[in-house]
């Protein structure tokens, strides 16, 4: 339960936050050997087909992913994973994005080899010697040997998952007996405990469209219960789920959640709404670019209003592959 910081309510006539000033930098790459499509001012993946993944992969998005990684580090108490790993030798990150999690894992486990795979070659070249990246579609048969990884991780991959059964079967096959898998996803839903989020709140309207479009393409949003069932159904044991709240805006009480909220607000100015919504709402819901922009702007505007106390929930779910 997130408690509202009482000092934030002191001046209800101020309806917006000042910029919080967080920033990040990222080394970004693009490679001419891969094909892209440009749409509504953004660059999208197309090498494996334009319907595989509907978020952009351009530099702006890469900056957002790196900022998001810092938010994840904060809400998960700086822990890169939840599974109880013991001296892992081989670690796999599916849908690695800019590879920032894989690089951090390689630093944390210098004796391990860490591999990150993604549809797009957007990872940096200068990485620890025990870290490498491969272009691969997780929805196809994986080239990795069976029983070859101590830990397989996927974070915020769900919008690119057209078959969870396939993902689970590959994860299960490639995990060593006794090894772990872990999924981390945001529940695509706005939460509010004090009634300050009305039905026409810009973020709620946006998220409702997001759910509708993801359902339409057969990738309905997931939550902790769904992922727990997935892992149990795939035969993993000791499946555990943990959740963490991410307020949008520094309205919550406590220094850490305030920082998370400020960073989430910054992420919204770093185009998170357009990243998730532009292709989905235009391609799937048939909206034009102006309409999508209006919806994104309204979400951003209401997210910046300190009188609205909205938060999102993240889940981490992990399980162990049986020894026998
Ligand atoms: C929202 S980003 C998350 C990146 C990273 N996991 C993180 O948390 O920072 C999702 C990533 O998954 C990749 N992706 C989506 N569908 C995929 C697929 N079928 N196979 C491999 N990668 C995929 C995208 O290219 C993108 O880089």
3-state helix, strand, coil in the chain (%, to 5): 35, 20, 45
Give pLDDT, residue 14: 41
Q: How many CB atoms lie within 10 A of CB 31?
A: 10
Nearest residue (by CA) to ligand 1, atom 10, is 157
Q: Residue 301 and residue 59: Cα distance in Å, rounded? A: 24
Q: How confident is the model at residue 22 (pLDDT cuts 50, 70, 90)?
A: very low
Residue 292 CA, chain-centre distance (Å), reads 21
In a domain, residue 203? The reply is yes
Give me the CATH number covering residue 313: 3.40.50.150
- H-helix or E-strand containing 320? strand 311-320
Residues 275-287: tens digit of each pLDDT: 999 999 999 999 9
In a domain, residue 316? The reply is yes
Rounded average pLDDT over 193-208 = 95
**What domain range is 202 assigned to?**
6-320
Give pLDDT, residue 25: 25
Give pLDDT, residue 51: 81
253: three-class secondary structure by DSSP: coil
Share of the chain above pLDDT 90, in %: 79
Closest CA to 225 of 209, 215, 240: 240
User: Does residue 160 have its Cβ closer than 6 Å to ligand 1?
Assistant: yes
User: Does residue 137 have its Cβ closer than 6 Å to ligand 1?
Assistant: yes
Nearest residue (by CA) to ligand 1, atom 12, is 95
In a domain, residue 306? The reply is yes
Q: Residue 259 and residue 75: Cα distance in Å, rounded? A: 10
Residues 125-163: tens digit of each pLDDT: 999 999 999 999 999 999 999 999 999 999 999 999 999
Closest CA to 184 of 210, 151, 209: 151
Residue 203 has pLDDT above 50, yes or no: yes
Nearest residue (by CA) to ligand 1, atom 26, is 97
175: three-class secondary structure by DSSP: strand
In a domain, residue 279? The reply is yes
Give residue 9 CA to ligand 1 midpoint distance, Å. Answer: 38
Q: Residue 155 and residue 94: Cα distance in Å, rounded? A: 8
Residue 23 has pLDDT above 60, yes or no: no
Nearest residue (by CA) to ligand 1, atom 4, is 97
In a domain, residue 1? The reply is no
Rounded average pLDDT over 257-271 = 89
In a domain, residue 220? The reply is yes
User: Does residue 184 have its Cβ closer than 6 Å to ligand 1?
Assistant: no
User: Does residue 155 have its Cβ closer than 6 Å to ligand 1?
Assistant: yes
In a domain, residue 113? The reply is yes
Give residue 195 CA to ligand 1 midpoint distance, Å. Answer: 34
Residue 20 has pLDDT above 60, yes or no: no
Is residue 137 within 8 Å of 52, Cβ to Cβ?
yes
Give residue 111 CA to ligand 1 midpoint distance, Å. Answer: 25
Closest CA to 82 of 231, 211, 199, 198: 231
In a domain, residue 132? The reply is yes
Residues 69-121: tens digit of each pLDDT: 999 999 999 999 999 999 999 999 999 999 999 999 999 999 999 999 999 99
Residues 305-322: tens digit of each pLDDT: 999 999 999 999 999 999
Average pLDDT, the chain: 89
Q: What is the DSSP letter of 158?
A: G
The number of domains in the chain is 1
């Amino acid at each position: 339960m997130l408690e509202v910081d009482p000092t934030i309510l002191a001046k209800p006539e101020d309806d917006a936050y000042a910029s919080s000033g967080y920033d990040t930098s990222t080394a970004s790459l693009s490679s001419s050997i891969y094909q892209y499509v440009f749409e509504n001012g953004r660059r999208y993946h197309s090498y494996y087909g334009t319907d595989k993944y509907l978020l952009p992969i351009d530099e702006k998005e890469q900056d957002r992913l790196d900022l998001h990684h810092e938010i994840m580090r904060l809400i998960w108490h700086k822990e890169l994973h939840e599974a109880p790993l013991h001296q892992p030798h081989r670690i796999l990150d599916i849908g690695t994005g800019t590879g920032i999690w894989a690089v951090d894992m390689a630093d944390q486990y210098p004796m391990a080899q860490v591999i990150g795979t993604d549809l797009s070659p957007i990872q940096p070249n200068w990485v620890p010697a025990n870290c490498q990246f491969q272009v691969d579609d997780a929805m196809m048969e994986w080239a990795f040997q069976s029983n070859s990884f101590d830990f397989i991780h996927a974070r915020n991959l769900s919008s690119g998952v057209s078959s969870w059964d396939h993902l689970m079967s590959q994860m299960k096959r490639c995990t060593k007996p006794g090894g772990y898998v872990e999924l981390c996803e945001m529940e695509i839903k706005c939460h509010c405990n004090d009634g300050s989020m009305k039905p026409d709140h810009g973020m709620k309207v946006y998220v409702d469209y997001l759910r509708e479009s993801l359902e339409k393409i057969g990738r309905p949003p997931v939550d902790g219960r769904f992922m727990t069932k997935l892992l149990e159904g795939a035969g993993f044991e000791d499946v555990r789920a943990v959740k963490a709240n991410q307020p949008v805006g520094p309205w919550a009480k406590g220094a850490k959640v305030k920082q998370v909220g400020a960073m989430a607000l910054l992420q919204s100015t770093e185009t998170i709404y357009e990243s998730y919504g532009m292709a989905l709402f235009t391609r799937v819901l048939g909206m034009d670019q102006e309409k999508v922009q209006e919806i994104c702007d309204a979400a951003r505007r209401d997210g910046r209003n300190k009188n609205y106390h909205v938060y999102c929930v993240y889940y981490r779910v992990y399980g162990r592959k049986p020894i026998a």
